[in-house]
Structure 1
Amino acid sequence: MNVPHTDGPLSALLPRLTQLSNVLNRGRVYERALESAGITLERPAMSVLAVLHTADRPLRIGEIADRQQVVGPHVTRQVNGLERRGLVQRVTDPLDQRARLIALTPDGTAVIERYLHTVLGWFTDALAGWPEQDRQDLGRLLGRLVDDLSTQLSALDD
């Protein structure tokens, strides 16, 4: 295990990540986006819709839970509520006729796309003055950081 240095560029990263988290949470990005998009769903339900939208295919409950890093019963409760609202539906798994997958309905797709349009509009506006290469670098490096940190933390759980 590498021993981290308490000075240098990485030492400045944690406070900036904390600051970003605060901007997103205290800035009520989620709540403001829901209000702007006219959506009345709780954050966990929207997370399920976002996972399904990002996957671009129906998923099993366990797959949704893994992607959200939560337990299956939590996802099942959210899916049941979303299903009652007509935003998701259970479909037969073509590889296993006994299993069910969770799919977005057209209404569910419309809801998550309205939400994402609102949030992505804010990010687009915030980055409007950035050169294209900087925007691409941010996406690439942030994705890499999240993936590598998730892998590192998963290894600690094992």
Structure 2
Amino acid sequence: MAPESPGEPAPALSPDDLLAVLPRLTRLRSALSKGRLVERAAQAASPSLDRPAVGVLVTLLAAGEPLRIGEIADRMQVVGPHITRQVQALEKRRLVRRIADPLDRRASLIEPTETGNEVAHRYVASLLGWFAEVLADWPQQDRDDLLRLLARFADDVTARLALPEGEGEQA
């Protein structure tokens, strides 16, 4: 494929191009889930917490600010009642706490406690450490390109999925 000129739209990917990468994406998804990478990271974070509970803590850590239960659910792409149960269990373990929403005193925000933050940091360190080992032998430029392109791809997929149904679909 010849590189396009600045301002010129990139040629569309052919179905064959996309089909060629599909088995690799499937193998990657399978390797990550069957390889129990996430479960091992959750075990490293706190042996007594399940994945969804750790997911709430990591979501709060990534947000960098307290969130409403609905915001946590949206970011985790699950339903609110599921998060409510997780937050209640985390509160009992003193890993999160509710604080008043300064914009609406009737609502609560959820924030991690110091211990909750420590658990989230252990999880992230375990997961990122594993990926860092995988990429250790890659040239720096390749690592930089992967991170840049993966971030862009994730942002574009997320934005596309957020469009109202029917918008952004190819004919």
Relative to the length of structure 2, the TM-score reads 0.82
The residue type paired with residue 67 of structure 2 is L
Do residues 95 (structure 1) and 103 (structure 2) align?
Answer: yes
Counterpart in the other structure of 1:32: 40
Residue correspondence of structure 1 range 101-140 to structure 2 within 5 A: 101-140=109-148
Say which SS state the counterpart of residue 94 (structure 2) adopts. Answer: coil
Identity of aligned residues (%): 54
Aligned to 2:66: 58
Match of 1:34, SS state, is helix
Q: 1:57, CA displacement in angstroms?
A: 0.5
- Using the TM superposition, give the Cα deviation of residue 145 of structure 1 relative to its aligned residue in structure 2, in angstroms: 1.6
**Structure 2: where are the runs of 5+ without partners?**
1-11, 167-171
Q: Say yes or no: does 1:13 pair with 2:15.
A: no
Q: Which amino acid aligns with 2:134?
A: A
SS at the partner of 2:109?
A: strand
SS in 2 for 1:7: helix
What is the letter of the counterpart of residue 39 of structure 1?
A: P
Q: Which residue of 1 aligns with 2:84?
A: 76
Check conservation: 2:45, 2:120, Cα contact below 8 A. Answer: no
**Equivalent position amino acid for 1:7 in 2:** D
Distance 1:38-1:47 versus aligned 2 partners, 3 A rule: closer
Distance 1:37 1:88, change over 3 A: closer
Counterpart for residue 30 of structure 2: 22
CA-CA distance at 1:55 after TM superposition: 0.3
Over 3 Å counting, the alpha-carbon distance change for 1:88 and 1:157 in structure 2 is farther
Per mean C-alpha deviation after superposition, the further-off stretch among 104-113 and 16-25 is 16-25
Offset at residue 156 of structure 1 (A): 6.0
What's the TM-score once normalised by structure 1's chain length? 0.88
CA offsets, 1:39-86, max 9 Å, x none?
321111111111100001000011111111111111111111111111
Which blocks of at least 5 consecutive residues in structure 1 are unaligned?
A: none
- Report the CA distance between 1:34 and its aligned residue: 2.8
SS in 1 for 2:67: coil
How many residues end up aligned between the 2 structures? 155
- Residue 126 of structure 2 aligns to a residue in which SS? helix
